[in-house]
């Protein structure tokens, strides 16, 4: 296999986006059911201003989410903490990778201020992967949760975390001090495709993370997600769903992978709405409390509705 090379982003020599031999493949025509709504509206621009004023990032912007327009118009966003530079280089992801900077200690306070201004009652916090930090950034997650709890408001908090590779024990110690309401960690794809899709991650390690969190925090629901269209088979998706349930995962999201740029992994196929519906029905039949499944679904899409039954 040809080794990846890297395309520089801007003038920063420490920041890269991955480019592979897949870049030469001809893209599949996008089907009619994959049409995101325009993000250029006054409501969206107002939210972007709030985020910039508070020096905050969102995964909605960094990952080029197709639901950005819809969610921003509703005044919701998934906040991305610890900067916008990831220490890993997953070839499906649009977040830049390289050498990240120091943690911004004011970030938790800025996040709480933005949540108060936006009058949010359900907050999703995610982050870049920070393998450079001893606890994988769990302490920073905890500080953000602490600041949000200090608002003295009815705010439910979901965290969408990296795998805390090599630092799970330290991460759980930090989160025990300031636990979330929902713990989310995405498996992303089936085990056969991990070497190509998530080369620096471990499928079974991610399953164990979900299981161990649920055992350590038995009152907090867990959640995971898959992106489809990367070459997995339908049977492989069913098998992963079963394994998730065996590892105490409560909620599931399934959505279509969409190639952010020619430098990322190509779309192998567009999964039909009918197939997504089969996954939803199957997931509920094996015990998931909620399954959000559809071409435009992302892990934090309608997150408040997904968790509603488990939190109230």
DSSP character string of 191-208: GGGHHHH-TTS-HHHHHH
**170 to 142, 268, 278: CA distances (angstroms):** 12, 38, 39
Is residue 59 within 8 A of residue 51, CB to CB? The reply is no
Whether residue 270 is predicted with pLDDT greater than 50 in this model: the reply is: yes
The phi and psi torsions of 16 (rounded to 5 degrees) equal: -140, 155
E strands present in 85-211: 97-98, 122-127, 156-160, 182-184
Question: For residue 287, what are its two tokens?
Answer: 């015990």
Nearest Cα to Cα of residue 185 among 279, 256, 272, 250: 250
Question: For residue 126, what are its two tokens?
Answer: 């995610």
- What end-to-end distance do the CA atoms of the chain give, in Å? 50
* DSSP symbol at 86: B
E strands present in 188-304: 222-228, 251-256, 290-293
The phi and psi torsions of 204 (rounded to 5 degrees) equal: -70, -30
Tens-digit pLDDT profile for residues 34-85: 765 555 566 666 666 776 777 776 655 555 556 555 665 555 668 889 988 9
CATH number (3.20.20.70, 1.10.10.60, 3.40.50.150, 3.40.50.2000) of 5-19+38-311 reads: 3.20.20.70
Helices (H) and strands (E) in the chain, counts: 11, 11
* DSSP symbol at 270: P
pLDDT at 26 (0 to 100): 73
Whether residue 191 is predicted with pLDDT greater than 50 in this model: the reply is: yes
Average predicted confidence (pLDDT) for the chain: 84
Report the SS3 class of residue 82: coil
Whether residue 277 is predicted with pLDDT greater than 70 in this model: the reply is: yes
Tens-digit pLDDT profile for residues 9-43: 333 333 343 434 344 567 788 887 776 555 556 66
Is the model's pTM score more than 0.85? Answer: no
Question: For residue 156, what are its two tokens?
Answer: 């439910």
Tens-digit pLDDT profile for residues 112-162: 998 888 888 888 999 999 999 999 999 999 999 999 999 877 889 999 999
Residue with tokens 């001809």: 26
> What is the average pLDDT across 97-115?
92
CA 127 to chain centre: 8
Whether residue 271 is predicted with pLDDT greater than 90 in this model: the reply is: yes
């Amino acid at each position: 296999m040809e080794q990846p090379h890297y395309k520089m982003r801007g003038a920063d020599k420490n920041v890269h986006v991955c480019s592979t031999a897949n870049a030469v493949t001809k893209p599949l025509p996008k089907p009619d059911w994959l049409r995101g709504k325009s993000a250029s509206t006054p409501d969206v621009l107002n939210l972007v201003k709030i985020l910039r004023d508070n020096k905050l990032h969102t995964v909605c912007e960094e990952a080029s989410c197709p639901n950005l327009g819809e969610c921003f118009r509703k005044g919701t966003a998934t906040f991305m903490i610890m900067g916008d530079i990831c220490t890993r280089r997953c070839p499906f992801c649009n977040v830049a990778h390289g050498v990240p900077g120091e943690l911004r200690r004011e970030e938790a306070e800025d996040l709480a201020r933005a949540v108060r201004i936006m009058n949010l009652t359900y907050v999703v916090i995610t982050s870049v992967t920070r393998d450079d930090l001893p606890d994988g950034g769990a302490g920073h997650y905890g500080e953000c949760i602490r600041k949000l709890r200090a608002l003295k408001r009815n705010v439910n908090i979901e965290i969408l975390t990296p795998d805390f590779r090599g630092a799970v024990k330290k991460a759980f110690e930090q989160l025990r001090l300031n636990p979330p309401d929902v713990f989310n960690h995405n498996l992303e794809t089936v085990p056969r495709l991990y070497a190509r899709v998530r080369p620096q991650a471990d499928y079974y390690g991610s399953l164990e993370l979900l299981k161990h969190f649920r055992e350590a925090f038995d009152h907090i629901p867990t959640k995971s997600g898959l992106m489809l269209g990367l070459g997995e088979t339908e049977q492989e998706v069913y098998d992963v769903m079963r394994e998730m349930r065996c590892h105490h995962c409560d909620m599931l999201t399934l959505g279509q992978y969409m190639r952010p740029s020619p430098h990322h992994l190509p779309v192998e196929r567009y999964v039909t709405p009918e197939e997504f519906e089969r996954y939803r029905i199957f997931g509920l039949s094996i015990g998931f409390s909620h399954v959000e499944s559809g071409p435009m679904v992302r892990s934090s899409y309608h997150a408040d509705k997904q968790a509603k039954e488990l939190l109230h």
